[in-house]
Structure 1
Amino acid sequence: MDLSLKQTLLIALGICVIGIVAFGIYYFNPKQIILRKLAKIRLKPIVSLSDNELVKVNGKAVNIQAPLIAPLSKRKCVYFTIKIEKKVSTGKNSHWKTVVNEEKIDPFFMEQNGSFVLINSTQNPKNYVSYLVVDSKLTSGVFNKPTPEALALLEKYNMDSKNFFGFHKQLRYQEGVIEIGEKITVAGVVKWNTLSEPLEGYNYSKIASLNHSETQKLIITDLPESKESRGLSV
């Protein structure tokens, strides 16, 4: 085979491999997986929900009990995820190691034009899949002293900001939050429930809830791409 032809084939093969890897990274990205799952589920207004159907709903998050407080930003919320990574060096190479990876969620309401749906989310056992937009980030390092917010966060998780030699560790912090009143999308199986006690501002004796099933977990996200409107304002 001619040398130039071999080189051309090798270049073409290299391009194909790069393309396949890039597509795989994109296709299997958690964000894209969530969006593909949601794209297959019908969007409905809360007032039109029927028992036992799988739907997705857009609405504003409303807390049922005292709101959670996000560890980094201190925002009131119904759901947060927090991750802290430390830069670790091994010889000539270095990588980011996750040292804290926590999430917390409470059951909550979604409100849409005065109508409510209960989101029956649980962590143990975990009955949902989710993707939250990372909207709070911080970094600290040798020449970048941790902010008071970062120091408070490290104290919460019993971590020291400095290494053995007294230098600030290279750390990065990221947090995703569903705030009170934030517009989100949730998908799940509808169940209608009779209220044991009336809800403030809600004039009906029954309320719909979104739940998981044996084959379908709840899907929860605040991705802007998930908020298909089709006239359903929230």
Structure 2
Amino acid sequence: MILLAKNDLIIILPILIVVIGAVIFLSHYFSIKQVVLRKLSKIPFKSTGGIKTNELAKVSGKALHVKVPLIAPLSGRKCVFYTIKIEKRVSTGKSSHWKTVIDEEKTQEFFIENRGDYVIVRPTQSPKNYKSYLVKDVKTSSGAFNDPTPEFESLLKQYNIDPVSFLGFNKSLRYKEGVIEIGEKITVAGIAKWKTLSESIPEYPYSKIAELVSTEKDKLLITDLPIENKRKDRF
């Protein structure tokens, strides 16, 4: 019986290692970050003058607001796009895991500006016409021996989350925030359309502007990750 158990272990262990490795690889490969980067890598950068109508194009430049900017919930940064996640540590018997209690993102239309040229982007959430990945550069947490900062505690109350358990201990909570700040360099890809301006843009002498839009096949791709530009005709 012992010999049989060892033989079974010899057979099962390599299979288990392969399965675990496959799960790790697939979770990484299909993560939103890798999906966005993989799709962007296949699209060439374009200069404004080189953008053609109905062409899938990728541009890079500074994000500028079209209307009153959004305000990031914790950091208070002015932005055109933010995403936040609040998670709570949940115990289930002998193990525990992080449970998402708030997963929120907000965006608005914005310009991409580079060397005086502009492209406009209009992401929408209903229906969602984009895929995005923003660097989570603001993080905070609380726990049994770690009081939440006053800013974090105030934010938790805005979302009706009590930072203290019924026994009086701090709950294990963590927060992540990513934003596209005003003036931050970003990269966006989409189908190009040339639009006539209804109102002039300061320091922009042209009557038409390129807009990046989505289709059922090609969603807008938005990221503030550094994207290598191998082309000479930089936007």
Alignment correspondent of 1:125: 127
Alignment correspondent of 1:228: 229
1:48-87 correspondence runs (5 A): 48-87=50-89
Letter in 1 for 2:93: G
Is residue 117 of structure 2 the alignment partner of residue 112 of structure 1? no
Cα distance change of structure 1 residues 107 and 205 upon mapping to structure 2, 3 Å threshold = same
Alignment correspondent of 1:194: 196
Q: Of the candidates 13, 16, 19, which is equivalent to residue 17 of structure 1?
A: 19
| Corresponding residue pairs, total | 232
Q: Of the candidates 183, 186, 191, which is equivalent to residue 184 of structure 1?
A: 186
Alignment correspondent of 1:135: 137
- Percent identical residues: 56
Deviates more, 1:28-37 or 1:74-83: 28-37
CA contact (8 A) 1:113 1:233 kept: no
Cα distance change of structure 1 residues 89 and 11 upon mapping to structure 2, 3 Å threshold = closer
Quote the Cα distance in structure 2 between the aligned partners of 1:56 and 1:145: 44
Letter in 2 for 1:77: C
Letter in 2 for 1:147: T
Quote the Cα distance in structure 2 between the aligned partners of 1:10 and 1:95: 27
Letter in 1 for 2:139: K
Deviates more, 1:19-28 or 1:35-44: 19-28
Quote the Cα distance in structure 2 between the aligned partners of 1:96 and 1:203: 52
CA contact (8 A) 1:185 1:227 kept: no
Cα distance change of structure 1 residues 88 and 18 upon mapping to structure 2, 3 Å threshold = closer
CA contact (8 A) 2:44 2:57 kept: yes
TM-score (norm 1): 0.91
CA contact (8 A) 1:112 1:233 kept: no
Runs of 4+ in 1 over 6 A off after TM superposition: 2-7
For the residue of structure 2 that corresponds to 1:145, the secondary structure is coil
Shift of 1:81: 0.4
Alignment correspondent of 1:99: 101
For the residue of structure 1 that corresponds to 2:46, the secondary structure is coil
Shift of 1:21: 2.5
RMSD value over aligned CA atoms?
2.0
Quote the Cα distance in structure 1 between the aligned partners of 2:100 and 2:60: 32
Structure 2: which 5+ runs fail to align?
none
Quote the Cα distance in structure 2 between the aligned partners of 1:28 and 1:214: 20
CA contact (8 A) 1:46 1:112 kept: no
* CA deviation string 1:190-232 (max 9, x = no partner): 11011111111111011010001132111111112x3425345
Shift of 1:158: 2.2
Structure 1: which 5+ runs fail to align?
none
Shift of 1:103: 0.4
Alignment correspondent of 1:219: 221
Alignment correspondent of 1:39: 41
TM-score (norm 2): 0.91
Cα distance change of structure 1 residues 218 and 96 upon mapping to structure 2, 3 Å threshold = same
Letter in 2 for 1:122: T
Cα distance change of structure 1 residues 149 and 91 upon mapping to structure 2, 3 Å threshold = same
Letter in 1 for 2:184: E
Is residue 159 of structure 2 the alignment partner of residue 157 of structure 1? yes
Letter in 1 for 2:192: V
